[in-house]
């Protein structure tokens, strides 16, 4: 339960500081994971990607090369599900022999994909800054600091992925139907859920609920339940 308590503390601080400037790098980090999820599905089920973009305003997109309907379906699902699964993988690997390679591995992946697919852009700049940050951490060689950084990144990414799914997909669609908040959702953005709705004729809100359910089940199975089993 000690680990769950630590995660709860980090989650509380993340929520308190949600709209502060200190959360900006962590939010962008999660957008990177989101777009990496799309990219991974594009390389597995499609012909890869042509462009990888992450912006300062926390938006992002990839130009994927699809093989057909199923390929497009998997690529569209890869964003939210990929980001939550990457975040959980980061937290899970922290308790293995791979712990010391997590941040370095992320830095290499960020640099590699932005150098090849982003050109001179904010995404590349962020990847460089992230790599420098990781190098500094390795130079310090403080295991406790390293553990806290990994936990903060992982929990912040999990929190942001769930928040984004709940607010920007589920609540947005509810507001579009009921008109509770005037002006919010008047113009439907072309989100992952909307793309899936267009492909499957299943409403976007349903896809948001599916993603949220899968995320909560994965969190329980990966983080909460194993921690309860430890004395």
Q: 172-215: per-residue pLDDT in tens?
A: 888 888 778 877 767 777 889 999 999 999 999 999 999 999 88
Give 223 or 113, the one with higher predicted confidence: 113
Give the tokens for residue 35: 């777009």
pLDDT tens, position by position, 3-46: 778 888 888 888 788 788 989 999 999 999 999 999 999 999 99
Enumerate residues 6+ apart whose C-beta is below 8 A from 195.
Answer: 72, 76
Share of the chain above pLDDT 90, in %: 56
Give the tokens for residue 223: 């983080």
What pLDDT, on the 0 to 100 scale, is given for residue 230? 59
Q: Give the torsion through C-alpha atoms of 124, 130, 132, 136, to 10 deg.
A: 180
Enumerate residues 6+ apart whose C-beta is below 8 A from 58.
Answer: 24, 27, 28, 31
Residue pair 123/54 in contact (Cβ under 8 Å)? The answer is yes
pLDDT tens, position by position, 135-177: 999 999 899 999 999 999 998 888 888 888 888 888 888 888 8
Confidence at 228, pLDDT banded by 50, 70, 90: low
Residue pair 120/53 in contact (Cβ under 8 Å)? The answer is no
Return the minimum-mean-pLDDT range out of 123-127, 188-192, 223-227.
Answer: 223-227
Chain mean position to CA 217: 16
What pLDDT, on the 0 to 100 scale, is given for residue 158? 86
C-alpha triplet 140, 141, 143: angle, nearest 5°? 125
Measured CA to CA, the distance from residue 149 to residue 143 in angstroms comes to 10
Residues facing residue 64 across a β-bridge: 49
Burial zone of 137 (CB within 10 Å; 0-12 exposed, 13-18 middle, 19+ buried): middle
Measured CA to CA, the distance from residue 69 to residue 75 in angstroms comes to 10
- Residue 226: closest CA among 107, 63, 91: 91
The total of other beta-carbon atoms located within 10 Å of residue 32's CB is 25
- Beta strands (DSSP E) in 80-203 are none
- Residue 169: closest CA among 77, 64, 89: 77
Q: How many residues are present in the chain?
A: 231
- Residue 76: closest CA among 176, 198, 223: 198
């Amino acid at each position: 339960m000690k680990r769950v308590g630590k995660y709860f503390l980090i989650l509380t601080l993340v929520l308190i500081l949600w709209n502060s400037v200190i959360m900006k790098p962590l939010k962008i980090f999660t957008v990177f994971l989101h777009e990496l999820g799309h990219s991974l599905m594009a390389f597995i089920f499609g012909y890869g990607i042509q462009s990888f973009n992450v912006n300062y305003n926390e938006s992002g997109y990839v130009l994927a090369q699809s093989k057909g309907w199923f390929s497009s379906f998997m690529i569209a699902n890869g964003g939210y599900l990929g980001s939550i699964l990457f975040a959980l993988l980061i937290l899970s690997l922290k308790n293995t022999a791979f712990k010391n390679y997590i941040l370095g591995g992320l830095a290499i992946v960020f640099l590699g994909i932005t150098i090849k697919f982003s050109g001179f852009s904010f995404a590349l700049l962020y990847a460089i800054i992230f790599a420098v940050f990781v190098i500094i951490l390795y130079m310090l060689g403080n295991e406790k600091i390293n553990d806290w950084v990994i936990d903060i990144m992982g929990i912040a990414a999990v929190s942001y992925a769930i928040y984004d799914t709940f607010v920007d997909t589920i609540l947005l669609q509810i507001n579009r139907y009921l008109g509770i908040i005037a002006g919010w959702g008047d113009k439907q953005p072309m989100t992952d859920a909307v793309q899936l709705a267009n492909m499957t004729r299943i409403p976007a809100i349903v896809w948001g609920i599916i993603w949220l359910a899968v995320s909560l089940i994965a969190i329980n199975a990966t983080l909460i339940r194993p921690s309860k089993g430890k004395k």
